[in-house]
Amino acid sequence: MRRSFTLFSIVVHTIVIAGGLYAQIVADSDLPTLHRPIIFDSSPFMPVEIQLPTPRIERAVKASETVSPNAAPVVAPAGVRDETGHEDDPAPTRGAVTGVESAPPSAIDGLGIGDIASPPPPPPQPAPPMHLHSGMKAPVKTLDVAPVYPTIARNARVQGVVILEAVLDVQGRVQSVRVLRSIPLLDQAAVEAVQQWRFTPALLNGVAVPVVMTVTVNFTLQ
């Protein structure tokens, strides 16, 4: 029964709503007037006067006002000569000739240039010592100094021959000595003796030359 009541209520409401809609459709009254939209394009224009700023009139600026007074000049002033790179050189003495130092007037010729003495040539370099060979006249010993037999070598019964290389200058003097064959206890005594020897100069084509020669010192116990 409750379901029947629900269906009956739905039918009644449907009929009432449908009747109301139909009554509005068949009514003779005029439809409501629609609101007219506002058209901005057709609205009256209200002119507004806008005061524009007066254009600024810039006066011509002189070139002298835009350049700093401390700026370097762009154009060279009149009367300035080009640089030569010799501005700092001392000024020549009046009446003197450049390049001649304290030259007397008699030394200056008609061209204004004096005779400058050339520097002396360098002394000739000494010839290096050469070894004795068959084309030379060998030096001859003119002063012989016997070696002093060292006491320690004598006590040790050390004896023998010390061979040395001696360099002689053009006067026949011994410049240097070098040991070629050594006996340690006798070397120093042999060197000191040879350094005191003197020779005649060695000659090459009649000219004295320095030479290198080999000498011997014999140590013998008596």
* 179-207 tens-digit pLDDT: 999 999 999 999 999 999 999 999 999 99
Enter the tokens of residue 24. Answer: 């509005």
Average pLDDT over residues 206-216: 94
**Domains along the chain?**
135-217 (3.30.2420.10)
With 90 as the cut, is the pLDDT of residue 16 above it? no
The mean predicted confidence, pLDDT, of the chain is 78
Integer Cα distance of 192 and 126 in angstroms: 26
Please list, residue by residue across 21-48, b when 16 or more beta carbons sit within 10 angstroms of its beta carbon and e when fewer do.
eeeeeeeeeeeeeeeeeeeeeeeeeeee
> Which has more confidence, 108 or 71?
71
Could you give the strand order of the β-sheet that contains 174-181, starting from the edge strand earlier in sequence? 130-131, 211-219, 160-168, 174-181
pLDDT digits (tens, 9 = 90+) for 40-98: 555 555 666 677 777 776 665 454 455 566 666 666 667 667 777 777 777 665 554 55
> Which has more confidence, 122 or 207?
207
Provide the H-helix boundaries in the chain.
2-26, 63-66, 151-155, 187-194
The answer to whether residues 201 and 127 touch, using CB atoms and an 8 Å cutoff, is no
With 80 as the cut, is the pLDDT of residue 105 above it? no
With 90 as the cut, is the pLDDT of residue 165 above it? yes
Integer Cα distance of 116 and 100 in angstroms: 7
With 80 as the cut, is the pLDDT of residue 116 above it? no
Residue type, 133: H
Helices (H) and strands (E) in the chain, counts: 4, 8
**pLDDT for the residue 28:** 56
For residue 151, give every residue at least 6 positions away whose Cβ sits within 8 Å of its Cβ, in sequence order, or none: none
Beta partners for residue 141, in sequence order: 199
Average pLDDT over residues 116-136: 82
